[in-house]
Structure formats: structure tokens, C-alpha cells
Amino acid sequence: MKFGLYGINTGACSEPDVSTRVAKTAEASGFDSVWTAEHVVLPDPQAPPSPAPPHMKLLDPAVALAFIAAHTTKLLLATGIIILPQRNPVVLAKELASVDRLSKGRLIFGLGAGYLKPEFQALGAPFADRGKRTDEYIEAIVALWTQEKPEYKGEYVAFGGIQAQPRPVQQPHPPIVVGGMSPSALRRAARYGNGWYGFALDLKATEHAIEGLRAAEQRFDRASGLGRLELTITPPGPVDADTARRYAALGIDRLVLLNPGRNEGDQVAFVEKAGRELVAPLA
């Protein structure tokens, strides 16, 4: 079992000294990765399905991970997730390749299709076709990262006769992790993902999602080069060693823990305790 830490760009960790100390503590405690959240804007006032109050602090994922890269040496740096159809895929490919370069090959590219219509409206991003855009944007980013002469022609993005250098360090490209529990997200993970990420899923919901993933892998073409689909989960609450073992028994490869600390001291204490009680005995 591998362990990651969620929210390295949120709340107290939106302050540079806090995120630095928390990341360094996670690395020293044996965590394999830190994960960012993303919402460019949040609805004000909060209303379902918005997941957070409007004044929640969220740093840009690429900027936050580049900063953390400079203060760590081994931690993997994961976007968990970037809302892909809100982004220009050509610009995003450059930003993420830059993170992978500056971190010497530690990026995990986690993505999702999004679900907050007010956020899409504020960004001027179409909401209805976000699923189709997500698929196409993945293909375009992979083309930019892997093709000797990048070329792509789709409904929403097209390019040719260009170069986007430097390429990522990781070859053929940084791991792509698809987040989400909808049938479309499971299909997308099976088709494009090196991994899948489920957020706030208890054991029963995780088991159900895995069944959906296995069915999607049978139904949709999956390139052999993608390898085995790595499974990552953020449980909805506190995790003890017995619960972690039960996730592992389901086939989960990594648990990304929610850090409940509201300030620097509480965040560091949580990471140190998880290191002693979960990471050291189970990793």
C-alpha cells in the first residue's frame, strides 16, 4: 500500500511556509505523493453540488506543485484533479511538462471532467460537451508530449507544424490518472488512464467502482502500453490500519489521506501520526 496526502495547495497549505513544512514532513514520514485540489472559482453562496465554501483558499495546482518540487526530492507531485475541459490543452501541456522537468520527473497528471456549472460559466467554458472535450484534450496533450512532430485534429482542438519543448522527463509521458465515479469517468480511465482516482469513497462505494472499472476495461479498447490500471482512493474520513488493509484487499494501490488539520501544527501532527501508524507498518 502506498500513501499520499491530499490538499497540499488548500487551506493552511495555501501559505508557502506551511505547505513546505507539511510536504517535507510527508516525505520524511514515507508518503509517496502529495495531491492538489482544483476549483478556479467557487459559487458564492455555496449551494449543491459545490463541495466547499466560497472563501476556501485554493492555489493553482501547477504553481503549487512546482513550488513543492523545489523543497522536496522524492515526493510524487499529483494533480488530484485538474478540471480538464476548463483548460486550454496546449497551454496546460506546457505547464505540466514544465512541472515534470523542474521536479526531475515526479509529476502525476490527474484530471476530471468537472461538474460545477457556475464555475464553467465564469470561465466561459462550455458545460454540456465537457465529456467529449475531456477525451479530446487528453489525446491532444499526449500528442504534444510524445510525438516527434506534434499533430492533432479534433472537433475542439487542432494543431500541426509546431513544437512544444521541452518535453516531460518521464517517458512516454507522466502517468495520467482519471478521476471520477460516473460511467463516463470509468470508461475514460479504462481507455486513457495509467490510473484511476476515486474521491471520498468508503469501502462499499470503492468495491462498486472497481466493478465498474473492470467492466469498462473489458468493453473499451485499452492500449497495452498503459499497463495495469493503478487504483487510488481518498477515503471519506479517518483511516486506521485495519481499514487500510481492507482497501488493499479490494485491490487499491494507494490511499490519499485527507488532512483535517486547520493550522500548521495540526497538519504536521496529522502527517507524523499517519506516518507512524499507517505508512511505516503498511507501505
Residue 270, all three cell numbers: 496529522
- Of all residues in the chain, the percent with pLDDT exceeding 90 is 98
Amino acid symbol at 177? V
Separation between Cα atoms, residue 155 and residue 169, nearest integer Å: 29
**Which stretch of 48-52, 221-225, 251-255 has the lowest confidence by average pLDDT?**
221-225
CA distances from 55 to 3, 6, 45, 259 (A): 29, 19, 10, 18
Residue 224: per-residue pLDDT = 82
Beta-strand relationship, 158-159 and 152-153? antiparallel
The residues spanned by each domain of the chain are: 2-176+236-282
CATH superfamily of 2-176+236-282: Luciferase-like domain (3.20.20.30)
What confidence tens digit (pLDDT) does each residue in 23-75 have? Answer: 999 999 999 999 999 999 999 999 999 999 999 999 999 999 999 999 999 99
What confidence tens digit (pLDDT) does each residue in 112-164 have? Answer: 999 999 999 999 999 999 999 999 999 999 999 999 999 999 999 999 999 99
Write down the pTM of the prediction: 0.98
pLDDT category, 221, cuts 50, 70, 90? confident
Amino acid symbol at 194? N
- The burial class, CB within 10 Å (0-12 / 13-18 / 19+), for 76 is buried
pLDDT category, 257, cuts 50, 70, 90? very high
CA distances from 26 to 60, 178, 259, 274 (A): 20, 24, 11, 9
Q: Is the pLDDT of residue 222 over 90?
A: no
Residue 247, all three cell numbers: 482497501
Residue 223: per-residue pLDDT = 83
What confidence tens digit (pLDDT) does each residue in 150-208 have? Answer: 999 999 999 999 999 999 999 999 999 999 999 999 999 999 999 999 999 999 999 99
Residue 143: per-residue pLDDT = 98
Closest CA to 176 of 115, 245, 68, 92: 92
